[in-house]
Amino acid sequence: MDFKSNETIYSQITEYLKKQIFSGSFACGTRLPAIRDLAVQCRVNPNTIVRVYAALSEEKLIYTDSTNGKFVTADAAYILQKKREFLREKSAAFAKEMREAGLDGGEVTEMLRKVFGSEEERR
Amino acid sequence: MIRKIFLTEWKENFFVCAAGLALCLLAAVGISLAGIGATDALRADLAEYVFAVFNAFSYVMPVLLLLKSIFSFRSYYRMAGVTEEKRTQGVLFGLFVWTALFLAAQMIFATLFDFIYFAGAPAVRGQTSPQSMLLSLRAHGVHRLLFAPSAAVTVCLMYIMYDVIRVAVVRVPFLPLKILVALIFLALYFFYHYTVYCAAGITGELADASWLVLPDSVLPVLPVVPGGTIDAVKDIHFLAAPILNLVFLLGEILFCVFAYGFVHVVGRCKNEIE
Amino acid sequence: MREYAIGNIEKAYGKKGVLRGVSLRVPAGSFVGVLGLNGTGKTTLFNILGNMDRNFTGEVSLRGKEVAYMRTKLPFPEWRKVKDLLSFYERFYTFDRKKAERMLENTSIRPTARLRALSAGMQRQLNFICNFCVDAQVLLLDEPLTNLDLVFRGFIVESLIERAMEDRIILVATHEIKEFENLFTHVTVLRDGRLGPLTETEALRAQGKSVEDFYGESLL
């Protein structure tokens, strides 16, 4: 994984894992990699992974079982809810940026339709 | 810790000593072979050459071991956290053991040579100079084995002196001054030891003791004569020390106490590990 | 597990003061990058922390066999064999010899080889493996990645990640910030004979600064 050097690694990995969970790549009940394995994979300090897992646990997206393994929550509805929150947050931030550049809602949605559309065509 | 240092260095020390012994044996065999079928006089001369080689090595090897103790590359002990004190003790112990072992082995080989070479030829042996047979136990009795630890003691004392000088010189800033301090200490050392040796010698003569520990003389103040020996010849070896002479022992113990105190007061380094 | 406290280390060569009061308190479990230009005294400092240099003033809370020190070059004579080295470490430290032998199996270093028969890269590999298998509270690494190919660099980074899972302390003196950037929990810059404050790397990034930025700024 490539990391941006001026954003906390912790937040970058947390976001990455959230996306994996939301997209279903890490489906409900999937076992997450061990702290050591993920640290080696990402080439980061394992203490960072510890923080990431702690944060995801607190958000109830993952849980720890008796063997100390980390699993994605089985609550699909909850994930959906969190996914919507994610969309809402990102959209709000995106909208703010576009507004600052003087672009209005209409131009933006039109462009988004084109971008998503061309992606659909490519598939 | 001393044991650990000994174990770390034993192979190289063994190799050096073994090489020395091998050379001695090579000379013995080579020279002996050259004398096959020769006259008695020539054979006696050849025997003297062999003994001369042995005697030479009895000087060379202890000095070599001493130089090796001083100049060996040992920074890895420091890395491992060994205190300088322990390191010095470990080196000293190894120096003593290997010097004594080498000389003892040499004496055994010299004795074997003495028996084998002269087997059935007492006339030849009669023509061989007794002085050359310094290391033969056949000539001087088993007690001569004491020469091994006595020479070991001598080189150890030299190493202790080197240690004192090293500690004294470290604190001195300029090189010419360092050399001066070293020379002063060396001069004091020789003066002190000469005095001790003289005192030991004088008391020794009074009690018929000798420089080199011989079976029929030597011993502290009261001459105790152990049974039957062959020669009354007193040999000289510059590395021998009259270690059974009380005056000598006292003098050297005092020296060691001084060295220990000096090193501890001045200190080997500013910030030693506890 | 204990913290590592370095207090006011001073070291001068003649009149030239190389280290002028180096102090640091490293919490247990930290992975610290000691940064600084060449010749500023990183190696001098590490030699002091790593038991090699005992002529300095100041205090160091952990010394002796509590510290494993990977220097730029193995401090053993060239004629020594690899297995003798392992025996040495076993004798003088708390050393996991089995683990070291296992790690060596993955390299092309044979236990019966003499050091002089090993290339510079292989010597470094051996150096790392030996110090890594020592059970010491502090691990000091002075430029550990020079002369190493990509494969072994990766191996070192992975090994250090495992070590970072324990509560021990790792100090790395290096220029190669890129490789270690994401492993450092803290960094500090040695400049003018003093160490800058111990700075948390994630705190830097939270401010939008990279470790390289921080390093660059510290040198100005």
* DSSP notation for C23-61: EEEE-TT-EEEEE--TTSSHHHHHHHHTTS----EEEES
pTM of the model: 0.85
Give the Cα separation of C185 and C28 in Å (integer). Answer: 11
Helix axis angle for B175-206 and B147-170, nearest 10°, is 150
Residues B128, B138: Cα–Cα separation, whole Å: 14
Q: Which candidate, C57, C103, C53, places its Cα nearest to that of C82? A: C103
Q: How far is C27 from chain A (nearest CA, A)?
A: 13
Q: Given a cut of 80, is residue A122 above it in pLDDT?
A: no
Output the DSSP codes for A34-46. PHHHHHHHHTS-H
User: Among C180, C219, C193, C139, which residue's Cα sits nearest to residue C23?
Assistant: C193
Average pLDDT per 10 consecutive residues for chain C, totaling 220 residues? 88 85 92 89 93 92 92 90 95 94 91 91 92 94 87 89 87 87 93 91 90 88
Sign of CA dihedral A56, C186, C8, B273: positive
List chains touching A (3+ CB pairs under 8 A).
Answer: C
Interface test mutation site (partner A, options C167, C182, C186, C187, max chain A beta carbons within 10 A): C182
Question: Among the residues of A24-104, which ranges form H helices?
Answer: 35-42, 46-58, 76-100
On whether the CB atoms of residues C218 and C36 are closer than 8 A, the answer is: no
- Smallest Cβ–Cβ distance between A44 and the set C162, C183, C213 belongs to C183
**Choice between B165 and B230, residue whose per-residue pLDDT is larger:** B165
Q: What is the pLDDT of residues A23-41, one digit of tens each?
A: 988 888 889 999 999 999 9
On whether any CB of chain A is under 8 Å from the CB of C208, the answer is: yes
186-225 in chain B: CB under 8 A from chain C: none
ipTM of this model?
0.88
Is there an interface between B and A (3+ Cβ pairs < 8 A)?
no
pLDDT digits (tens, 9 = 90+) for B128-146: 887 788 888 887 778 788 8
Within chain A, all domains assigned CATH 1.10.10.10 are found at: 9-74
Interface residue B3 vs chain C (CB under 8 A): no
- CA trace torsion A100, A105, A111, A112 (10° rounding): 100
Could you tell me the fold of the domain covering A9-74?
Arc Repressor Mutant, subunit A (1.10.10)
Q: Which residue has the higher pLDDT, C52 or B238?
A: C52
Window 44-83 of A, Cβ < 8 Å to C: 44-48
Q: Tell me how many degrees the CA angle C65-C70-C76 measures, rounded to the nearest 5.
A: 85
